[in-house]
C-alpha cells in the first residue's frame, strides 16, 4: 500500500469512525505487517507441487496458475516450479505432483521413481493432444516446418507421452483429452479451464471503461496461434459476405493470421491487432461486438478448450462457434452462445447477431451469468480438490525431538518404515536445529524423508500427526491442518528429570487427557500407568526386533568371558554406575568388560577393556554377538531393548527387573534377575551362568524363542492398527 493511500485511509477512518476505532485498526495493521515480516520461510511443507513443462505464458496460466488458485480456494496448498528447475529435494515437501506438459528428462524419470517408492501420487495434466504423434500429425501447419524443426517438435511430443506414461492419474480440460489420456492412466478427471480472479477483475475494468463506436459492429477473431489459419478458412466466405453486405460491419483480427487472397477486396474493413498482454486482452475483446470461434472438426480440435467463449463471456460479448468439442458440450445453442455446423448456420446466425442488438445482449448476458457463476477459480475448484484428495495416499508424520540415535527414535523409525511398506506417505519432522541437516533416516536400506522444523512453512494437510516424545507434543497440538493427532508414549519421561526441574512437571502434564490427542504405546507398563495414574486409555502394540541385525553365535564359555554393559552413564535411570560396581569386582583375569554408549564416554573409575561409542544401529548386533553376558541395570525403561537383542544372538542376560523388561523377561526362564543394589547377588548370578551349562542352555533356548516371537514382521498388523 502506498503512503498516499495509507494516509487517505487514516483520515477517512478518523473522520467516520473516530480515534478509538482508528487506534484499534492501526494496532491490527501493525501486528499483521510485523507478523508478515517475521514469517520468512525457506520452503513450504504443502500438498501439491505443479511442475510446468510449457514455456508459453497462456497455457501455463490456465493449467498451472488457475488450478493452483482453484485448489487453494478449497484449502489445498500448492507451489509450482519450471520442469528444468526441478530438484529431487522437492519430493519430501509435498504429497502429490502434477506434471503439466512435461517432456521426459532423466531428472523427471528419477523423480517419479522415487516419488512412487515413497507413496507420493503422480498426476499428468494437459490441454492439447500433443503427447501422441498419431494426433499431432493432423496439425496441417506442422507440414510447413523444416525437417529439423519437425523432428524437434516430434521429439517433444514423444517425450511428453513418456512422462504421461510414468504417471498414475490424469487431469484433462476436455472430454476428448480424457478419452485419449485414459488409454495410458488409471483414471482421468476433467477440470475445464476456468477464469482467474484477476481475469474477472480486468474484465470488470473493461466493462466499465471500454467505449464502443456506436456506428460500427465489429466482429472479432482472436486466432491465438498460426495453427488456426485453416479454422478461419471454414467461415471466410460467410465473413466476406457480411463485410460486403453490411456497411457498418468490420472484422478485427488479433494474433497471427495470414490474410487470405479471398479477403483482399474487403481489406479496408479488416482491423488488425498484434498479440497483447493477457491483462489487456479483456479490453480488446470488449471492443468487438461478436466473437468468432471456428474450428475444423478433427479429433485434435475436439480436445481444445472453450477459452474463447469464456473470455468473451466475461466482458459480455456473444460467441458464435463451430459445433465441435468443448464448444459443443459447453455452449447452450441460442442461449449462452451460437453453434454452427455448416455455412448456412454461419450465414443465418451471423446475420441475426448483426441485425438484432437485443439478441446479442441477451446471448452475452446469459453467457456472462454462466461463466461468472460457475467458471471462476474461487468457486469452481471443489471437483478438482476432491479428485486430488481421493488419490493421495494417507499421510503420516512423526515429530522427532532429534535424529540422534536412541531406542525411542529407532522405534519411531521402524513404525514409519512399516507404514511406508504398507502404502502410507510417511515423513519425519525434526525439531532439533543441531540435527536439522539430516535428509532422511534409514533402516536396513529403506528410508524415511526428514523435514527440518526451522524456517519451514507447515501447512500440508496431514491425516495422522504423531508426537514421539513429550518435547514434540506442543508442535503436534499447534498443528491446525490435521485430522488425527497421536502421542506415541514410550516412557515415563517425567522420571528423566530431577525434582525441582520444570521439565519434570511439563513432561508429566502431557500424559493427562490432552484435548484431541489419541494415546498409543509399545509398552504394557506404559499402558498400565497411563490408565492407573492419569486415567488415559491407550492403544498398545508390542515392540519388535529386527533379527537380521543380530546374528546368532554359539558361546563356548571355555575362555575369557566377555561382559557387555550398555547405556548412557549420564542418565541416572540407566544406572550404569551399578553395572560397573558389579564388573569392577569381577576377576579381570577371567572376565573382559565391553562398554557400549551412544552418548557419554566412560567415567574415570570404570574398568573397561573395550569401549564402543556412537555405533550405528545396524552394527550393534555384532557387538552383542561378540559378548557372552549382558549386565543391564536400568531402573526405568519403557521397553528395554538390550536384553532382547542379546538373547537374539544366543547371549545371556543378568538384569534388574523394571517396567520396561518384565513384559518379556522372566527370571530363571530366559534371564536371571538380581536384587537392586545387591552387588554380591549380581556377581553370584554372573558366576552361576558361567558354571552351570544346563542353566545356560535353558536360558538361551527360551531367550531365542522370546526374541523370535517379537520379530517385526510378525507384529506388523498390530503396529498398523495404532495409526488407523
Least-confidence region, from 247-256, 289-298, 306-315, 452-461 = 247-256
Q: Which of 221-225, 280-284, 434-438, 476-480 has the lowest mean pLDDT?
A: 221-225
Specify whether 161 is located in the same domain as 112: yes
- Note whether 152 and 238 are same-domain residues: no
Cβ atoms of residues 454 and 476 within 8 Å: no
pLDDT at 502 over 50: yes
- Which are the contacts of 334, defined by CB distance < 8 A and separation ≥ 6? 363
Alpha-carbon span 393 to 389, nearest angstrom = 8
213 and 179 share a domain? no
Distance CA 309, CA 145 (A): 30
Look up the CATH number of the domain holding residue 60.
3.40.50
Query: Which SS3 state, helix, strand or coil, does residue 545 take?
Result: strand
Residues 6+ apart with CB under 8 A from 501: none
Residues 359 and 273 in one domain: yes
Is there a contact between 101 and 412 (Cβ–Cβ < 8 Å)? no
Which residue has 482453484 as its cell numbers?
Answer: 70
Question: Is 164 contained in some domain?
Answer: yes
Q: How far apart are CA 130 and CA 152, in angstroms?
A: 13
Question: What are the residues whose beta carbons fall under 8 Å from the beta carbon of 534, sequence distance 6 or more?
Answer: 511, 512, 513
**Bridge partners of 426?**
396
Best CA proximity match to 90, nearest among 56, 47, 57: 47
Mean pLDDT of 110-134: 96
Give the whole-angstrom CA distance, residue 313 versus residue 609. 86
Q: What are phi and psi of 454, to 5 degrees?
A: -65, 125
Q: Examine the domain organization and report whether 263 and 359 are in the same domain.
A: yes
In a domain, 35, yes or no: no
- Whether 580 and 604 map to the same domain: the answer is yes
Average pLDDT on 244-249 reads 96
Q: Is 434 a member of any domain? A: yes
Q: Is the dihedral of CA 599, 604, 607, 609 positive or negative?
A: positive
Q: Percentage of the chain surpassing pLDDT 70?
A: 94
> Is residue 18 a part of any domain in this protein?
no
Residues 534 and 583 reside in one and the same domain: no
Please list, in sequence order, all residues whose beta carbon lies within 8 angstroms of the beta carbon of residue 245, skipping any fewer than 6 positions away: none
Q: Are both 460 and 482 inside the same structural domain? A: yes
Number of Cβ within 10 Å of residue 269's Cβ equals 22
- Asked if the model's pLDDT at residue 610 lies above 90, the reply is yes
The residue among 504, 519, 540 that closes a domain is 540
The reply to whether 526 and 553 lie within a common domain is: no
CATH number of the structural domain spanning residue 673? 3.40.50.2000
Give yes or no for residue 435 having a pLDDT over 70: yes
The answer to whether residue 388 is domain-embedded is no
Domain boundary among 160, 190, 220: 190
Rounded-to-integer distance, Cα 36 and Cα 617, Å: 43
Residue from 433, 536, 424, 452 nearest 489 by CA: 536
Is 581 within the bounds of a domain? yes
Q: Does residue 34 register a pLDDT over 60? A: no
As for how many domains the chain has, the answer is 4
What pLDDT, in 10s, does the model give residues 104-121?
A: 999 999 999 999 999 999
Which of 496, 520, 540 is the C-terminal boundary of a domain? 540
Share of the chain above pLDDT 90, in %: 80
| Full residue range of the structural domain in which residue 688 is found | 547-714
pLDDT (tens digit per residue) in 330-389: 999 999 999 999 999 999 999 999 999 999 999 999 999 999 999 999 999 999 999 999
Q: Are strands 395-400 and 462-467 parallel, antiparallel or unpaired?
A: parallel
CB atoms within 10 A of CB 248: 12
Residue 2's pLDDT band (boundaries 50, 70, 90)?
A: low
pLDDT at 255 (0 to 100)? 74
Pair 93, 121 in one domain: yes
Name the band, by pLDDT with cuts 50, 70 and 90, for residue 676: very high
C-alpha–C-alpha distance, residues 607 and 595, integer Å: 10
- 149 and 235 share a domain? no
In a domain, 101, yes or no: yes
CA angle 573-576-580, nearest 5°? 155
Are both 577 and 530 inside the same structural domain?
no
Question: Residue 26 above 80 pLDDT?
Answer: no
DSSP codes joined into one string, 403-422: -S--HHHHHHHHHHHHHHHT
Termini Cα distance of the chain = 48
Amino acid at each position: 500500500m502506498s503512503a498516499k493511500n495509507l494516509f487517505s485511509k487514516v483520515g477517512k477512518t478518523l473522520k467516520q469512525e473516530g480515534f478509538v476505532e482508528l487506534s484499534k485498526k492501526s494496532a491490527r495493521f501493525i501486528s499483521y505487517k510485523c507478523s508478515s515480516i517475521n514469517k520468512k520461510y525457506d520452503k513450504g511443507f504443502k500438498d501439491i507441487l505443479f511442475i510446468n513443462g510449457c514455456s508459453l505464458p497462456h497455457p501455463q496460466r490456465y493449467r498451472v496458475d488457475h488450478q493452483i488458485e482453484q485448489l487453494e480456494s478449497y484449502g489445498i496448498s500448492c507451489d509450482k516450479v519450471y520442469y528444468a528447475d526441478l530438484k529431487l529435494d522437492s519430493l519430501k515437501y509435498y504429497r502429490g505432483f502434477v506434471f503439466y506438459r512435461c517432456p521426459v528428462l532423466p531428472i523427471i524419470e528419477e523423480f517419479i521413481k522415487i516419488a512412487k517408492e515413497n507413496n507420493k501420487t503422480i498426476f499428468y495434466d494437459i490441454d492439447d493432444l500433443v503427447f501422441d504423434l498419431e494426433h499431432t500429425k493432423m496439425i496441417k501447419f506442422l507440414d510447413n516446418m523444416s525437417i529439423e524443426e519437425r523432428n524437434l517438435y516430434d521429439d517433444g511430443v514423444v517425450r511428453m507421452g513418456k512422462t504421461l506414461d510414468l504417471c498414475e492419474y490424469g487431469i484433462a480440460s476436455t472430454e476428448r483429452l480424457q478419452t485419449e489420456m485414459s488409454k495410458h492412466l488409471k483414471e482421468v478427471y476433467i477440470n475445464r479451464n476456468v477464469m482467474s480472479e484477476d481475469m474477472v477483475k480486468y474484465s470488470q475494468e473493461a466493462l466499465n471503461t471500454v467505449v464502443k463506436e456506436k456506428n460500427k459492429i465489429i466482429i472479432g477473431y482472436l486466432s491465438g496461434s498460426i495453427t488456426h489459419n485453416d479454422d478461419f478458412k471454414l467461415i471466410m466466405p460467410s465473413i466476406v459476405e457480411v463485410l460486403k453486405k453490411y456497411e457498418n460491419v468490420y472484422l478485427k483480427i488479433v494474433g497471427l493470421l495470414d490474410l487470405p487472397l479471398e479477403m483482399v477486396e474487403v481489406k479496408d474493413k479488416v482491423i488488425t491487432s498484434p498479440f497483447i498482454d493477457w491483462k489487456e486482452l479483456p479490453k480488446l475483446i470488449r471492443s468487438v461486438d461478436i466473437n468468432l470461434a471456428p474450428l475444423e472438426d478433427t479429433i485434435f480440435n475436439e480436445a481444445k478448450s472453450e477459452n474463447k467463449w469464456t473470455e468473451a463471456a466475461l466482458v459480455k460479448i456473444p460467441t458464435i462457434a463451430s459445433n465441435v468439442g468443448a464448444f459443443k458440450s459447453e455452449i447452450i445453442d441460442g442461449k449462452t452462445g451460437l453453434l454452427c455446423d455448416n455455412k448456412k448456420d454461419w450465414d443465418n446466425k451471423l446475420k441475426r447477431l448483426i441485425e438484432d442488438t437485443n439478441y446479442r445482449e441477451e446471448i452475452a448476458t446469459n453467457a456472462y451469468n454462466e461463466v461468472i457463476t460457475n467458471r471462476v477459480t474461487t468457486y469452481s475448484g471443489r471437483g478438482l480438490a476432491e479428485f486430488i484428495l481421493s488419490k493421495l495416499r494417507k499421510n503420516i508424520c512423526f515429530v522427532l525431538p532429534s535424529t540422534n540415535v536412541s531406542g525411542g527414535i529407532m522405534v519411531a523409525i521402524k513404525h514409519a518404515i512399516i507404514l511406508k511398506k504398507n502404502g502410507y506417505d510417511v515423513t519425519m519432522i525434526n525439531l532439533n536445529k543441531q540435527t536439522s541437516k539430516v535428509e532422511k533416516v534409514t533402516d536396513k536400506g529403506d528410508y524415511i524423508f526428514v523435514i527440518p522444523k526451522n524456517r519451514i512453512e507447515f501447512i500440508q494437510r496431514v491425516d495422522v500427526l504423531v508426537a514421539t516424545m513429550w518435547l514434540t507434543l506442543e508442535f503436534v497440538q499447534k498443528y491446525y491442518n490435521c485430522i488425527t493427532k497421536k502421542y506415541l508414549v514410550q516412557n515415563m519421561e517425567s522420571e528423566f528429570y530431577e525434582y525441582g526441574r520444570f521439565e519434570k512437571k511439563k513432561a508429566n502434564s502431557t500424559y493427562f487427557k490432552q484435548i484431541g490427542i489419541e494415546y498409543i504405546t509399545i509398552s504394557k507398563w506404559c499402558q498400565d500407568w497411563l490408565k492407573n495414574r492419569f486415567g488415559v486409555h491407550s492403544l498398545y502394540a508390542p515392540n519388535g526386533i529386527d533379527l537380521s541385525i543380530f546374528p546368532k553365535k554359539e558361546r563356548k564359555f571355555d575362555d575369557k568371558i566377555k561382559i557387555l554393559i550398555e547405556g548412557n552413564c549420564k542418565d541416572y535411570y540407566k544406572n550404569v554406575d551399578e553395572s560397573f560396581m558389579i564388573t569392577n569386582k569381577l576377576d579381570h583375569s577371567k572376565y573382559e568388560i565391553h562398554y557400549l554408549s551412544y552418548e557419554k564416554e566412560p567415567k574415570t573409575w570404570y574398568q573397561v577393556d573395550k569401549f564402543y561409542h556412537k555405533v550405528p544401529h545396524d552394527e550393534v548386533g555384532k557387538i552383542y554377538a561378540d559378548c557372552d553376558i549382558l549386565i543391564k541395570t536400568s531402573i526405568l525403561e519403557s521397553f528395554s531393548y538390550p536384553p532382547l537383542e542379546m538373547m537374539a544372538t544366543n547371549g545371556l542376560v543378568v538384569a534388574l527387573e523394571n517396567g520396561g523388561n518384565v513384559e518379556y523377561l522372566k527370571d530363571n526362564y530366559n534371564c536371571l534377575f538380581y536384587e537392586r543394589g545387591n552387588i554380591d547377588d549380581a556377581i553370584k548370578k554372573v558366576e552361576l551362568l558361567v558354571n552351570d551349562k544346563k542353566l545356560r542352555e535353558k536360558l538361551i533356548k527360551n531367550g531365542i524363542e522370546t526374541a523370535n516371537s517379537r520379530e517385526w514382521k510378525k507384529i506388523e498388523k498390530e503396529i498398523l492398527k495404532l495409526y488407523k
